[in-house]
Amino acid sequence: MNIKGHMLSLKVNEHHNDTSLSHFLRKEVSASKPIIHFWLKHQKVRLNQQPAYHAAKVSTGDNVTIDLFEFETSNVTPEYGDLDILFEDEHLLIVQKPAGRPTHPNEKGQTGTLANLVAFHYQANGEEKRVRHIHRLDQDTSGTVIFAKHRLAHAVLDQMLSKKMINRTYLAIAEGVFKKKRGTITAAIGRDKHHAVRRRISPTGQKAITHFQVMGVDKRRNITAVQLQLDTGRTHQIRVHLRSIGHPLVGDSLYGGMSNGITRCALHAKKVAMKHPFTGEHLIIEAPLPSDMVKLMEPIKH
């Protein structure tokens, strides 16, 4: 695979000799049938420099090129505002979400979300495209969020996320002093039937696994800084899991945390580590700690 800007080039090897172009694309770039149909319909694929069609077959040594660039009507209302960009190229965008801002709209025309700022950023750069978030953060959680800039990037990044090829690291400040310096919490999470928003540990819930490592302790204030990594991505996973072992997040009133100097749950998605889906570059993208959590962290002994 070779990529320059939004042009993706592939050479057919003997393993794919005399197979269909669609089969080749599914295997080589993990493109779904709808994506391949879109490419062929809009003549985005060229076989040996000629427009390719659905019935095409490929042979050893053939060159296949895909134009990943596309004009799309935005699915989100653009809204001007400060967008903290941590990484961007033709394929993906990684930004820092501030605490208090939802990741995406929940209804048509909604504004005030991170996705609205991304839509404006695209518009300001003359990029007509949909806003495609790969994952989300709770409204009160700050930190890194990944957006795909075209449909293939979305499909590939979704697969990478499900295969645990995107490593996300969180920093939390929790109540109490942990008995163990590191550990793993394995407990299924389900809805709380007594509360519309809250989640709870439930044997009939979805599997959830959280790894934690203590980074520092402030015994005077009885709080602990913890680094976390998730094997799963359940709603409120960190908040529910830490509460289940007696350490709710500082500021997390929904799960019994005390304010302790912060007005939101003390959780920050601080780092994303992954291999770039097209260039192969190893990316480590870090989001600076927000001022409210910096203030909380200052007296904590590492």
CA distance 157 to 239: 25
Please tell me the number of Cα atoms within 13 Å of 32 on its side-chain side.
11
Q: Which candidate, 236, 268, 269, 227, places its Cα nearest to that of 255?
A: 236
Catalytic residue among 67, 82, 84, 138, which? 138
- Count CB-CB contacts under 10 A for residue 225: 22
- What DSSP string runs through the chain? -EEETTEEEEE--GGGTTEEHHHHHHHHH---HHHHHHHHHTT-EEETTEE--TT-EE-TT-EEEEE-------SS-------EEEEE-SSEEEEEEPTTS-SS-SSTT--SSHHHHHHHHHHHTT-----EESS---TT-EEEEEEESSHHHHHHHHHHHHTT-EEEEEEEEEES--SSSEEEEE--EEE-TT-SS-EEE-TTSB--EEEEEEEEEETTTTEEEEEEEESS--TTHHHHHHHHTT-PBTT-GGGT---TT-SS--EEEEEEEEE-TTT-PEEEEE-PPPHHHHHHHTT-B-
Q: Is 140 a catalytic residue?
A: no
Say if CB 31 and CB 50 are below 8 A apart: no
| Of the candidates 255, 206, 250, the residue with the CA atom closest to the CA atom of residue 231 | 206
Catalytic site positions: 138
